[in-house]
Chain A
Amino acid sequence: MFDVARVVEAWPLLAKGAWVTAQLTVAATAVSLIVGTLSAMLQLSGLRAGYWLSRVYVSAMRGTPLLVQLFVVFFGLPLLGIRGEAFLAAVIAIGLNSGAFVTEILRAAVLNVPRGQIEAAEAVGMSRWQLWRRTILPQAFVTSLPALTNEFTILLKATPLASVVAVTELTYAGQLVIARTFEPTEILLTVAAVYVAFVLCLSQVSRRMESRFARRWSIQ
């Protein structure tokens, strides 16, 4: 029932799609982390406008489907004079979507940093920026690493939606093969297996980072 030859024949195309999926995941994760961190800082900065900007961003991203957001970015980029950048559109949409969840994760983590530490840092004369960079953010990242890993796993699993804006990632590569061969079973199961492998890699990396951080910041 499972014909391996079909997988072997399709493999070069699936591998190409898997590579696009990997690039998309890494790039969108970077955008998500940067935007999420800035947004969390804005929300906790004490600036009223910053607080509202961040809250509105999070609410809009959380409340609407990524599919719709992808269309909005894809159809919106040409207005800024950017055309034919499907990959960029996907990275922006997926990164911004995930950044909202990263905001929430980091916000909670920052609020859990003991007040005493912040006061101590202020007492030794750290500037606001130093305070964030040296004291608050490192701890927030370490304590929220499991939650962040979870979020980036979800991000990885959202990448198939990028096909609607002309990015031929793994799932769409599979669909193109199926459109030619009319045989979905082997291809879809292989595609699923590749995602499972990706997710296992991701959680391995995260586990390594966790123990590394734990040593570096000597958090027990």
Chain B
Amino acid sequence: MTRRVIPLLSAAAIAIAGVAVSLSPPAHAEALDDIKARGKMLVAIDPTFAPFEYTDASGNIVGFDPAVLELVAEGMGVEIDYQVMGFSGIIPGLIAGSFDLTATALAVRKERAERIDFTVPVAAGVSGILRRGGDTKVAGTAPADLSGLKAAVKATTQPEQVLQGFNEELEQKGMKPIELLSVETVEQTIAALMAGRVDFVADDVAVLATVIKARSDDLEIVGTVGPSVYISWGTNKDDPALNAALNEQIIALKESGRLAELHMEYFGVTFDLPNENFIPAE
């Protein structure tokens, strides 16, 4: 009898704890005041995404987003305390209030905007398809071209969801879906491509271009898929003041032309970025 009761009690305890956690809003003071008091902001980042964010040989976090964030932090008069973690934990952590913001490149999407606040866009991007050089099996970038092929993607990212969208389309047409291998880092998607586990990799084109430059292997970009997306950072819904403070700095960098310089430095192109109405309707 007792043996049965214990797990039941445990389950009840877990459930109650879970409900309690999920019902109560992250009850912290306004993050901006916190940051000012501490003199530093806690920034979650997944530095496995060159040229957006990566680590150099000495372990420093570098790339486009860190470069912009350094200027932003300087403008706010605070320091940066990086919380390095895998991408799949970042948005959940932000919602829970485990850190102040994330400066990892986030594709601005409607469902995400419902749970977190985006800063004004700092860059733009689009997903691309990468294949082994001359592998004509990957003939194009339309869903029909990719039907029945295997693809590696970074788990819980924009490109993964683009391909999942393709699969819904393919299923409706009665065609074979794309078989997805979802792993944790870009490097693992490339390893899967080179080992012949998959036929192509889908990720941001700037990231794929950096991969091609970094590796001697014969790789090529077939084309782009899905919509162009704005890339922003994220803050917790309860911290509008922090969001506004970040926006103020980013907009100043846009107006001074400093942001465009950084775009050229890291991407070789500049982007035309809006300061309002940048959340897509779909």
Chain A positions near chain B (C-beta within 8 angstroms): 9, 12-13, 16, 52, 55-56, 59-60, 63-64, 71-72, 74-79, 81, 83-84, 86, 163-166, 168, 172-173, 175-180, 182, 184
Q: Are A165 and B89 in contact (CB under 8 A)?
A: yes
Given A83-B42, A84-B99, A180-B54: A12 touches B85 (CB 8 Å cut-off): no
B50 at the interface (CB under 8 A from A): yes
Instruction: Report, nearest first, the 4 A-B pairs whose CB atoms are least far apart.
Output: A75-B96, A179-B48, A78-B97, A166-B85
Question: A55-B6, A78-B96, A180-B56 provided; 12 other pairs, C-beta below 8 A?
Answer: A52-B9, A60-B13, A74-B96, A75-B98, A79-B21, A81-B27, A164-B85, A166-B98, A175-B185, A176-B84, A179-B47, A179-B186
Q: Size range of the interface on B?
A: 35 or more
User: Which residues of chain B have C-beta atoms less than 8 A from A173's C-beta?
Assistant: 59
- Given A76-B21, A78-B26, A164-B86: A64 in contact with B92 (beta carbons within 8 A): no
Give chain A residues whose Cβ lies under 8 Å from the Cβ of B191.
182, 184
Is A56 in contact with B10, judged by CB distance below 8 angstroms? yes
Q: Are B55 and A180 in contact (CB under 8 A)?
A: yes
Given known A-B contacts A175-B185, A179-B55, A56 and B96 have beta carbons under 8 A apart: no
Is B214 on the interface with A (CB-CB < 8 A)? yes
Please report the C-alpha to C-alpha distance between residue A168 and residue B26 in the assembled complex, in whole angstroms: 25
Residues in chain B within 8 A of chain A (CB atoms): 6-7, 9-10, 13-14, 17-18, 21, 24, 26-28, 34, 42, 44, 47-48, 50, 54-59, 81, 83-86, 89, 92-93, 96-100, 184-187, 190-191, 211, 214-215
For B84, the chain A residues whose CB sits under 8 A away are 166, 168, 172, 176
Please report the C-alpha to C-alpha distance between residue A140 and residue B238 in the assembled complex, in whole angstroms.
Answer: 50
A176→B48 contact, CB < 8 A? yes
